[in-house]
Amino acid sequence: MKWIVKKADLEVYRQKFDGKLAAYAEEAKMIALPLPKYYILVLDEEKLHLIQLDLDFNEKALQTIFLHDITQLQFTGVLNKKLSIRTPNATIKLLIKPMAMGIQEEQKQFLERIAQMAK
């Protein structure tokens, strides 16, 4: 079982999905049991890819959200940032940790872009 997402992991997915920014996120849950789902988020000018990872951080599932389909984007939190993405079909709640070891800069860039979109 792999425990840390590295900068190289984010770069691989960013290039694979032709994105400008990539970040790591977890499913936002009140109770950590069962384990939350893990995601790599890849953002470009038109869409957001949510790549769900298994416990070894291998690609498990893919969901693509077009930015024009987002009806509401909520961005909250002091230390860890909670992101709620609402579309006509679903609501996705994610937890993004800006101080994730080794990928702080990528997390920060992604969060800045999401904060601009949420305004």
Nearest to 73 by CA among 41, 38, 31, 99: 41
Q: Residue 1 pLDDT > 60, yes or no?
A: no
Q: What is the pLDDT of residue 35?
A: 85
Phi, psi of 89 (to 5 degrees): -100, -25
- pTM for this prediction: 0.90
- Report domain extents, the chain: 7-118
Assign a CATH topology to domain 7-118.
PH-domain like (2.30.29)
Rounded to an integer, what distance in angstroms lies between the CA atom of residue 113 and that of residue 44? 10
Mean pLDDT of 45-52: 96
3-state DSSP assignment of residue 59: strand
pLDDT band at 97 (very low <50, low <70, confident <90, very high): very high
Instruction: For residue 36, say if its preceding peptide bond is cis, omega within 30 degrees of 0.
Output: no
| Calpha distance 36→55 (Å, rounded) | 10
pLDDT band at 2 (very low <50, low <70, confident <90, very high): low
